[in-house]
Structure 1
Amino acid sequence: MNNGTIRHMAVFTLKSAPDSEETQSFLRDGARILSVIPGVDNFEVLDQVSSKCDFRYAFSMEFADQAAYDAYNAHPDHQAFVAERWETEVAAFQEIDFVNAAV
């Protein structure tokens, strides 16, 4: 990850069962809609394997800088996905944003 790059992760648990079509649809649609928003790099859908974490899934992506991240948050496709899917299908979540540590 380059200096200035922001790695954004939204870790979450869905209301639907892990093996349900609703869950698969949410994950597929999230990848299809969010990954093509301008400024999104290295989009991944992740499945939690640790028993130490209560969140089951993650959407992970990178942005070249704060301006790209801000544009993503303001993008109408992101806002529609949040309003129409995220707010109704996600049971719990945490957003995590990282940059390279200055070490």
Structure 2
Amino acid sequence: MEQEWIQHSVIFCLKHKKGSREAGQFLADGQKILSSIPVVKHFHVFRQVSPKNDYDYGFSMEFASREEYEAYNAHPLHTAFVEERWKTEVERFLEIDYQK
């Protein structure tokens, strides 16, 4: 059976001023914390540059299977980051999950 890789992407705007120290700290902390979860592969942080939308940043990562994706969603580091940082510092977001 073929692997069912999942590409998980979220684009977002922060409550912090774009390019601020606080925004940079959020991005750095997100990368450090979320990429340390064992099932996360190929974690990337992006700064959006297109005039075609008004989001500022993006996180992207891959999972080898639906089970790994679900394990990530339930992982204590992920749930703590969402509760403690995401819900308080993210103004709005769009989440997209692709399958290869």
TM range (shorter): over 0.9
Q: CA RMSD in A?
A: 1.1
- The Cα of 1:20 is off from its aligned counterpart by 1.0
Give the aligned partner of residue 15 of structure 1: 15
Q: In the comparison of the two structures, how many residue pairs are matched?
A: 99
What stretches of structure 1 of length at least 5 have no aligned partner? Answer: none
Distance 1:55 1:40 in 2: 23
- The Cα of 1:89 is off from its aligned counterpart by 0.3
Give the aligned partner of residue 70 of structure 1: 70
What stretches of structure 2 of length at least 5 have no aligned partner? Answer: none
Give the aligned partner of residue 45 of structure 1: 45
Q: Would you say the 8 A contact 2:3–2:65 is kept in 1?
A: no
The residue identity in structure 1 corresponding to 2:5 is T
Q: Deviation per CA, 1:21-58, whole angstroms, max 9, x where unpaired?
A: 11000000000000010110000000101011111100
Give the aligned partner of residue 96 of structure 1: 96
Q: Compute the TM-score of the two structures, normalised by the length of structure 1.
A: 0.93
Distance 1:21 1:74 in 2: 29
Distance 1:27 1:45 in 2: 7
Distance 2:19 2:39 in 1: 31
Instruction: For residue 61 of structure 1, give the secondary structure of its aligned residue in structure 2.
Output: strand
Distance 2:34 2:90 in 1: 16
Q: Compute the TM-score of the two structures, normalised by the length of structure 2.
A: 0.95
Instruction: For residue 29 of structure 1, give the secondary structure of its aligned residue in structure 2.
Output: helix
- The Cα of 1:19 is off from its aligned counterpart by 2.0
- The Cα of 1:71 is off from its aligned counterpart by 0.2
Distance 1:5 1:91 in 2: 29
Give the aligned partner of residue 60 of structure 1: 60
Distance 1:19 1:90 in 2: 14
Distance 2:88 2:30 in 1: 14
* Greater Cα shift, 3-12 or 27-36: 3-12
